[in-house]
Amino acid sequence: MSFYLSRIIHNSFEDVLENLQKQLHEHAYLIAANIDVQGSLKERVDADLPQIRIIGTNTPKVGHQLFSTDPKLGTLLPFSIVLHELKESNVEVTMIDPEWLFQSVDNPVITILATEIKQTFEDVLQKL
């Protein structure tokens, strides 16, 4: 089992980012983090990288279920999404696979939740 879901989209980085945020919003996911990796590394260590963005996301419903089950599950949040600019106006969007992320949690409720989240993430990827 891979730890991520991924898709390459032929579009500008800005358009993919905007569409991703729209798709997440339509599925009630909130943006908890929006990290400009390229800009941060250029500023701090003078690294020249293509555009890379880390988006941290979750929904209140999922957060409530996880924290109600075991507050320590919060260490696995927010769910991470990476946008990575490739050549020729291609952007790779990579999302954590929730089934992989929660595979060590021995709780059938969390297993079902992970499957539901994965289905949502797969839907988001297909609509980008």
**Domain chopping of the chain, boundaries:** 4-127
Please provide the average confidence, as pLDDT, over all residues in the chain: 96
Its sign, for the CA torsion 125, 29, 37, 12, is positive
The pLDDT tens digits for 72-86 are 999 999 999 999 999
What is the per-residue DSSP string for 42-81? HHHH------EEEEEEE-HHHHHHHHHH-GGGGGG-SEEE
Identify the pLDDT of residue 94. Answer: 98
Evaluate whether 50 touches 86 at the Cβ level (below 8 Å): yes
pLDDT at 1 over 90: no
Identify the pLDDT of residue 8. Answer: 97
Task: Calculate mean pLDDT across residues 50-60.
Answer: 97
Question: Could you tell me where the beta strands, DSSP code E, fall in 20-78?
Answer: 30-36, 52-58
pLDDT at 13 over 80: yes
Instruction: State how far the Cα of 26 lies from the Cα of 36, in Å rounded to an integer.
Output: 23
Domain 4-127 sits in CATH 3.30.310.70: yes
Task: Calculate mean pLDDT across residues 22-35.
Answer: 97
